[in-house]
Structure 1
Amino acid sequence: MERRADPPPSSRSGHRGAARRAHRPLGPASAEAIVALVVLVGAVATAWWRLGAVARGTAWAEDGGLFLRERIAHGVDGTLLRPYGGYLHLVPRLVVDLAVHRPIEQYALTVSAASCVVVGVVAAAVFVLSRDVLPGRTMRLLLAAVPVVLPLAPVEIAGNAANLHWYALVLVPWLFAYRARSWWSAAVVAVLALAATLTELQAVVFLPLLALAWWPAPRGAPGRADGTGRSDGAAVRLRALPVTLAAIGGGAAQVVTALTTERASERGYPAPSDVVAGYLLQPVAGLWDRRVAPVGAAVAEHGPWVLVGPALAVLALLVVALVVAPWRARVLLVALAGGSVVVWTAALLANAPADGRWSTLDAVGLAAVGPSRYAAAAGMLLLSAVVLSAALLVDSGAGRVRRTRTGGAAPVLRSALGWCVVALVVATSVTNAAPGASTRSDGPEWAPQVRDAEPSCRADPLRVLEVRTAPWSAQVPCALVLRDR
């Protein structure tokens, strides 16, 4: 029998090397990217599901109104940086432009899907950017989930372009504070920061956090050394330049727009008691019940301690976390919690309809109070602060026990408190997860109206359709309907 010749030693070593490379475990960066992708997909799916079928197919407010009307009249180049309501709306304008390029019958579904994708990007970005403060992935997953699990989100702000600007506020603190590990990551963060600041005026509130991006990393921390392993503090700090330029440039454009553009909304003059009572009744109560009215009825029956008690508990949690957290985490905690109060107060000052005269509501008014869209952004920031506090307590307690072996009772109690808060947040999110009543849950759905109007468009191609939306209507030229037929 003929015997096969053995391969040369160099060939055998080459095969063994290829086999080792094939079975080599993923590096930290690759694993992080894969988890971030899973977060993005999971967040998009969750946001999409929480809307409900009817809401997904219903166009909301400016999506079918001013944004669509101006896009049809002025094109994409004439609308991307076109002011509305006193500021710029870059990302919502991009979403509407994408939807116009797709079959107009699917306009509402496209806007809903694209808006959910934007929220998914926000969640994935928070997951990646928060690792300077929370190295462990488990807590970062919960922190990243905040924009999609917030009970108030599907009521009005989720799944539509008109309210995407609120989600920028939960992302910008992490963008501004992030220490980039490479020039590629610095460029991506700068692009996201520019998009966020050109979408939401109140992002300028977080500009001081840019100092954290320039602050040198502690010795031995990730990102301290460059790709060759040599420490180069100046080069690392310079990676903060792109996000700084993007944030300041976008913020300046918003400020100039706000100063030179007249707002149609009437300014509010809330009393301090209305600001405080409204904050407790809307962003705080909205953390555990998206309907809000049952909480108001409980306040009417049992007194203000129904709200004051949980608010004091949240405040105590934040204080304990501030005591044990590293300085960088403390700054972000203050920014998130303080930003929540600032955003809520600014909403009442800038928009008279946002002030429900919360402090003067009687029992009937409290039992009938509905959720406010102005509470969603403040609620996301507050819930982010709560989750971050719980994560810091868990990490602090576990880290102390590992370092000292025994650790004592205090670290164990801190860790237990953190896990209890995590369990409470998860339970509340699950309770409010299913699709429920919202501003779009009763329609009117977009696609059937466009399909039913097709024969009349063929009879008169110059006709302009009146398509009903929630709560207004859209003017759609028949040319767009026939374009896709």
Structure 2
Amino acid sequence: MERRAGRSPTPPSGRRSSGRSVRRAPEPRWSEPVLALVVLIGAVATTWWRLGPVSRGTVWAEDGGVFLRERLASGVDGTLLRPYAGYLHLVPRLVVDVAVHRPVEQYALTVTAACCVVVAAVAAAVFLLSRDVVPRRWLRLLLAAVPVVLPMAPVEIAGNAANLHWYALVLVPWLFAHRARSWPGAAVVAVLALAATLTELQSVVFLPLLVLAWQPLPSTGPGRHVRRVRSIGAAARLRALPVTVAAVVGCTAQVVTASTTERPSERGHPSPADVVAGYLLQPLAGLWDRRVAPVGGAVADHGGWVLVVPALAVLVVLVLAFLVGPWRARALLVAFAGGSVAVWTAALLANLSANGRWGTLDAAGLAAVGPSRYAAAAGMLLLSALVVAGALLVERGTARSGETRPGGAVHVPRSALGRCVVALVVTTSVTNAAPGASTRSDGPEWAPQVRDAEPACRADPTRVLEVRTAPWSAQVPCVLVLRDR
């Protein structure tokens, strides 16, 4: 067919006559699941290693308390959706059920391993689900590593079922906002969303992100192509139905449970100073030193600017990323940053024990402050927001600085800032990566106690053992000890 004079065709390479740079060639799709598998394996190994041998072999809190006790008394069908502390704990109870089917001597190691696998599954899912917002794979790898490399994770929340619910909060925003490209993918996302919402009550905070899942695919082009793309967009919108139903069902079940179940913990009454100072001292400071006390000591010696200056720097990065990012990325950025503050505030309001009276601590109190488990979830969300912000700055800065039109070079500092943010996240993660002190690092280890009790169980098979855990104890029937021997 003859072309019109004066109109040059678009070359196959993707270069347009406006002088813009060549687009990057699309990466092969097969490598996505391969990289997700690498993330899964690497996350399991890293989480396991960061705990240390004693913590891995020690049972923590509800894992040997209410979860194990109720599972032995009522079975899996009677406990999966049983409320505890005012909400449902589906995934932690599944983990305990898996561990009960293993030799009781290996109960601690089984729970730890299963929890490491769950965290790794969260990391792999984040890598796959964040593709629309963070196209570059190396940045998505860092984003997926957030729940694994969070400095405060090994202190208390990693490797035990009692605190496994916190990890749902870093996955739920990606699940709710994801645009499924196939019905099998939509089904998998819905199953994950149901499991996450039936595990963590605060998932309700992210329900507005479901709007993003219903957004149609972009429709451009003339004539029949428009109608075809619009029909594809309609099908894509319907694929958001499974995750929407799953999210609404799970969150509704949690809200009903919270409304009808009495919580044993006393509500807190934090002052605004407690909320603000605590957030700066715990979730924020915990991103670069999981011990927190050295940061508190620096505040006592040099003043509050030690926390205020980094907080302002983080705020500037988030605002700049919000200004340059596309609307979908902006929504997720607000969800992670705002969710971090909301989760921290809710923890202080719902639990009297969560408030360390951060706003009234003197110099001695600041120097002796320790990490709070309630800061881990808020820290994960804040760290995710920082990685997303850095990725947006790198992506937008690189894309625009590559243009040949005048003024393109002004975007180079944006990319440089994004890379600095990413480098800082990597540096702090590596610095805090090695195993360190945790709530379980002093034991008591589970397996030696069970082995030592075997002769007593053989003498009286009806006996119930008192096995010490951190910080409580567990009642283990001797029939379990003798079952696999």
Same fold? TM cut 0.5: yes
**What's the counterpart of residue 54 of structure 2?**
54
- Report whether the alignment pairs 1:457 with 2:472: no
Q: How does 1:339-378 map to 2 (within 5 A)?
A: 339-378=339-378
- Find out whether 1:298 has 2:320 as its counterpart: no
Pair 1:27–1:427, CA change in 2 (3 A): closer
Secondary structure, aligned partner of 1:433: coil
* Matching residue of 1:11: none
Count of matched residue positions in the alignment of Structure 1 and Structure 2? 455
Superposed CA deviations along residues 288-340 of structure 1, whole A, max 9, x for unmatched, are: 00000000000000000000010000000000001100011000000000000
Percent identity of equivalent pairs:
80
Deviation at 1:402, TM superposition (A): 2.5
Q: What is the DSSP-based 3-state SS (H/G/I as helix, E as strand, rest coil) of the residue aligned with 2:148?
A: helix
Displacement of 1:136 in angstroms is 1.2
Return the alpha-carbon distance in structure 1 between the equivalents of residues 405 and 99 of structure 2.
Answer: 58
- Asked if the contact 2:402–2:408 (Cα under 8 Å) also holds between the matched residues in 1, the reply is no
Whichever residue aligns with residue 336 of structure 1, its letter is: F
Tell me whether 1:75 sits opposite 2:75 in the alignment. yes
Q: Secondary structure at the match of 1:320?
A: helix
- Does the residue aligned with 1:131 lie in a helix, a strand or coil? coil
Aligned partners of 1:136, 1:276: CA distance in 2, in Å?
Answer: 34
Give SS of 1:151's match: coil
Contact 1:198 1:254 in 2 (8 A): yes
Cα pair 1:214 1:238 within 8 Å, conserved: yes
Q: Is this contact kept in 1: 2:219–2:230, CA < 8 A?
A: no
The answer for the alignment partner of 1:29 in structure 2 is 29
Q: Which residue of 2 is the match for residue 157 of structure 1? A: 157
Q: TM-score, normalized by length of structure 2? A: 0.92
DSSP 3-state at the match of 2:474: strand
Corresponding letter in the other structure for 1:110: T
Partner of 1:245: 245
The whole-number CA distance in structure 1 between the counterparts of 2:76 and 2:327 is 44
How far, CA to CA, are the matches of 1:105 and 1:407 in structure 2?
67
1:423 and 2:430 matched = no
The residue number in structure 2 matching 1:167 is 167
Partner in structure 1 of residue 8 of structure 2: none
Q: Which amino acid aligns with 2:469?
A: T
Residues 170-221 of structure 1, C-alpha deviations (whole Å, 9 max, x = no match): 0000000000000000000000000000000000000000000001122379
Distance 2:186 2:124 in 1: 16
What is the SS of the residue equivalent to 1:403? Answer: coil
In 1: Cα distance, 2:432 partner to 2:462 partner:
46
> Which residue does 2:20 correspond to in 1?
none
Matches within 5 A, 1:180-195: 180-195=180-195
TM-score (norm 1): 0.92
- In structure 2, what is the Cα distance between the partners aligned to 1:405 and 1:481? 74
Shift of 1:407: 5.1
| Cα shift at 1:231 | 4.8
Alignment-derived partner of residue 10 in structure 1? none
Partner of 1:484: 484
1:127 is matched with 127
Write the deviation string for residues 260-301 of structure 1: whole angstroms up to 9, x where unpaired: 000000000100110000000000000000000000000000
Work out whether 1:104 is the aligned partner of 2:133: no
Distance in 2, Cα, partners of 1:342 & 1:130: 22
Matches within 5 A, 1:219-230: 219=219
- Equivalent position amino acid for 1:422 in 2: V
Partner of 2:9: none
Structure-2 residue corresponding to 1:92: 92
SS in 1 for 2:403: helix
Deviation at 1:234, TM superposition (A): 1.3
Q: Give the aligned partner of residue 66 of structure 1.
A: 66
Give how far 1:230 is off. 8.7
Q: Residue 232 and residue 202 in structure 1: after superposition, are their counterparts in 2 closer, same or farther (change >3 A)?
A: same
Q: CA deviation at 1:27?
A: 8.0
Residue 464 of structure 1: CA displacement?
A: 0.4
The equivalent of 2:21 in structure 1 is none
The answer on whether the counterparts of 2:67 and 2:93 sit within 8 Å (CA) in structure 1 is: yes
- Secondary structure at the aligned position of 1:179 is classed as coil
**Preserved contact between residue 170 and residue 380 of structure 1 (Cα < 8 Å):** yes
Alpha-carbon distance change, 99 to 419 in structure 1, aligned in 2, over 3 angstroms: same
Between the aligned partners of 2:151 and 2:231, the Cα distance in structure 1 is: 45
Are the aligned partners of 1:400 and 1:407 in contact in 2 as well (CA < 8 Å)? Answer: no
C-alpha separation in 1, matches of 2:182 and 2:251: 24
| One-letter code aligned to 2:124 | A
Output one character per residue of 1:403-456: Cα deviation in whole Å (capped at 9) or x when no partner.
Answer: 336654431100001111111111101100000000001110000000010011
Which deviates the most, 243-252 or 27-36? 27-36
With over 3 angstroms needed to count, the CA separation of the structure-2 counterparts of 1:238 and 1:453, relative to structure 1, is: same
Distance in 1 between the 2:173 and 2:452 partners? 46
Tell me the residue number matched to 2:197. Answer: 197
Q: 1:309 to 1:74 in 2, by over 3 A?
A: same
Matched, 1:399 2:399: yes
Q: Distance in 1 between matches of 2:135 and 2:219?
A: 16
Unaligned runs of 5+ in 1: 1-25
Residue number in structure 2 paired with 1:390: 390
Report deviation, 1:30.
1.8
Q: C-alpha distance in 2, partners of 1:79/1:376?
A: 27
